[in-house]
Amino acid sequence: MPETFSSVPRSATVSRTTKETDITVTVTLDGTGISSINTGVGFFDHMLTNFSKHSGFDLSLECKGDLEVDDHHTVEDVALVLGSAIAEALGEKRGIQRYGWAIIPMDEALARCALDLGGRSYCLFRAEFNRPVIQGFSTEMVEHFFLSLSGTLKANIHLSILEGENTHHKIEALFKSFAYAMKAAVAINGTEIRSTKGKL
């Protein structure tokens, strides 16, 4: 019968320090959605907490960024480190489902995510927002977050808003659809590497 759980804990801690940010991320893929997140940007913390809760990933994330400049470096660098941590936790990706997808509603908003953890980075993002900023979080950084994360995670990520007006609802639906797609993609379903190349 196919294995349903990894015999080795899939967890990683990654730190990154620059003149703009100081970040440490610990992620456990086979967790229960417990999180401790502090980026200094309230709405961004809320989105990352939602990601942890709905993916089932345990996530500890501390970031000290140059918020006196703006939120750009914080959001971008968190994405880079989070992607690196998840990639390290996945290891050689033996037995993972590899693909994941989800369509998530939030009131009038409807978001879709489809992704491939196949080792190639690409991000296609289709969403527009009516508000430029939510509690210090620039809505233009939503796309940049997923673009940056796809690079270090080496994932192909397609995200779209299919319906919606409220900016908060649309962004939250995007993060939740990404969470459920990731939950499916990292699930262990066998022992083989799902690629004709023999490597992901």
Domain boundaries, given as residue ranges, for the chain: 11-185
Residue 123's Cβ-count burial label (10 Å; 0-12, 13-18, 19+) is: buried
Q: To which CATH superfamily is domain 11-185 assigned?
A: Imidazole glycerol phosphate dehydratase; domain 1 (3.30.230.40)
Residues across the chain: 200
Structural contact between residues 93 and 200, judged by C-beta atoms closer than 8 angstroms: yes
Question: What's the rounded Cα separation, in Å, for the pair 152 and 136?
Answer: 25
Instruction: Return the residue matching tokens 């995200």.
Output: 159
134: left (phi over 0), alpha (psi -120 to 50) or beta: beta
What is the Cα Rg of the chain in Å?
A: 16
pLDDT tens, the chain, 200 aa long:
344 445 678 999 999 999 999 999 999 999 999 999 999 999 999 999 999 999 999 999 999 999 999 999 999 999 999 999 999 999 999 999 999 999 999 999 999 999 999 999 999 999 999 999 999 999 999 999 999 999 999 999 999 999 999 999 999 999 999 999 999 999 999 889 888 888 88
Full DSSP string of 10-57: -EEEEEEE-SSEEEEEEEESSS-S-EEEE-S-HHHHHHHHHHHHHHT-
pLDDT 10s digits, 55-108? 999 999 999 999 999 999 999 999 999 999 999 999 999 999 999 999 999 999
